[in-house]
């Protein structure tokens, strides 16, 4: 087997996406529309005719090429037909070509080295069922008693609403740069174009927005992309109501629902309250930069 390097302009997106969607875990993160937004001009590794693929999220600084994990993106690595031999070929290739690697490998990747540490996301496998705990039920019921309801945001309004409400949250509270948030804007536009984006809001009886969130779904993987509630100090349960509705909404539209994180204990408890279970996958970190550059990086 030979690993072939494809520059961005050489990638056949139709074949690429077919490989991603036929994978054991067809995460939207690795689809072309997603990577085109979060990592413009990404390249790829390929074995045979898209039998197996590996996205290359390359960047360059101080003359050194490196592989970072793009913003708003998780679980990349090898897709399609994979086994330890194929994973090793990809692993050897990227280590020989990139001095610095901070890359999440998807849950199907089984290669083990001292450079890989386990991390978690939380997911619901619909085939296995799920059950909300009492706290989640109570908070969702509280929101209903207050007259809150969940509504699907129509396409004409969702982009402007996102810029008005979610972008300031990401910039001011999460401390993301404007250039990083601009990648999310493009991802939302790409998701809309692919008809994979679903945006929901929680409103009160006066139509005031209490929570807003974006989701992506490719018919197999449903992802909580980004969102927030605007009544945190009131503890009204708006986000619990939103999540309860969404999980039910995607039950007949996807195989599994992905909360898109869970490394922080508070978030993990929130997700577990809806019946989510941890999904462990690998985070590959390699730093072979010269000592001086390592100091500058720190």
Contact 16, 32 (CB under 8 A): yes
**Where would I find the H helices in 198-298?**
238-249, 265-272, 291-297
CATH topology of domain 131-275: Aminopeptidase (3.40.630)
Name 21's Cβ contacts closer than 8 Å, sequence gap at least 6. 31, 218, 220
pLDDT of residue 298: 52
pLDDT of residue 36: 98
**pLDDT, mean over the chain:** 93
Which whole-number Å values give the CA distances from 48 to 1, 21, 96, 182, in the listed order? 8, 17, 21, 35
- Joined tokens for residue 112: 């083990």
Higher pLDDT, 141 or 61: 141
Around 210, how many Cα atoms within 13 Å sit in the side-chain half-sphere? Answer: 26
Confidence of residue 293 (pLDDT cuts 50, 70, 90): low
- Give the number of other CB atoms < 10 A from CB of residue 142: 16
> What is the Cα Rg of the chain in Å?
20
Confidence of residue 295 (pLDDT cuts 50, 70, 90): low
Backbone angles phi, psi at 95, to 5 degrees: -70, -30
pLDDT tens-digit series, residues 126-160: 999 999 999 999 999 999 999 999 999 987 788 99
Please tell me what DSSP assigns to residue 154. P
CATH topology of domain 3-120+281-297: Aminopeptidase (3.40.630)
pLDDT of residue 60: 85
pLDDT of residue 231: 84
pLDDT of residue 266: 80
Weakest mean pLDDT among 35-44, 119-128, 228-237: 228-237
Contact 39, 70 (CB under 8 A): yes
pTM for this entry: 0.93
Nearest to 226 by CA among 66, 58, 37: 37
Confidence of residue 267 (pLDDT cuts 50, 70, 90): confident
**Domain residue ranges in the chain:** 3-120+281-297, 131-275
pLDDT of residue 110: 95
Confidence of residue 291 (pLDDT cuts 50, 70, 90): low
Domains 3-120+281-297 and 131-275 share a fold: yes
* Residue range 83-89: mean pLDDT, rounded: 97
């Amino acid at each position: 087997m030979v690993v072939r390097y494809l520059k961005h302009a050489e990638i056949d997106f139709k074949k690429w996406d077919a490989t991603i969607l036929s994978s054991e875990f067809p995460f939207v993160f690795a689809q072309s529309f997603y990577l085109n937004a979060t990592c413009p001009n990404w390249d790829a590794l390929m074995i045979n005719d898209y039998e197996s693929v590996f996205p290359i999220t390359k960047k360059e600084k101080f003359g050194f090429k490196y592989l970072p994990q793009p913003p708003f993106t998780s679980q990349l690595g090898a897709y399609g037909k994979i086994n330890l031999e194929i994973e090793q070929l990809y692993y050897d290739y990227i280590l020989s070509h990139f001095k610095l690697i901070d890359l999440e490998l998807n849950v199907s990747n089984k290669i083990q080295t001292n450079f890989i540490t386990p991390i978690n996301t939380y997911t619901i496998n619909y085939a296995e069922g799920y059950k909300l705990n009492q706290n989640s039920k109570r908070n969702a019921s509280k929101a209903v008693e207050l007259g809150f309801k969940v509504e699907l945001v129509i396409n004409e309004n969702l982009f402007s609403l996102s810029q008005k409400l979610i972008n300031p949250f990401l910039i001011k509270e999460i401390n993301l740069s404007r250039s990083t948030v601009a990648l999310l804007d493009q991802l939302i536009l790409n998701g809309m174009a692919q008809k994979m984006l679903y945006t929901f809001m929680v409103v009160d009886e006066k139509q005031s927005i209490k929570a807003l969130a974006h989701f992506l779904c490719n018919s197999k993987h449903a992802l909580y992309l980004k969102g927030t509630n605007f009544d945190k100090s009131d503890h009204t349960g708006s986000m619990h109501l939103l999540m309860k509705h969404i999980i039910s909404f995607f039950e007949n539209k996807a195989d599994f629902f992905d909360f898109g994180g869970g490394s922080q204990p508070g978030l993990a408890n929130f997700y577990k309250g809806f019946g989510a279970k941890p999904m462990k996958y690998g985070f590959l970190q390699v730093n072979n930069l010269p000592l001086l550059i390592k100091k500058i990086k720190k």
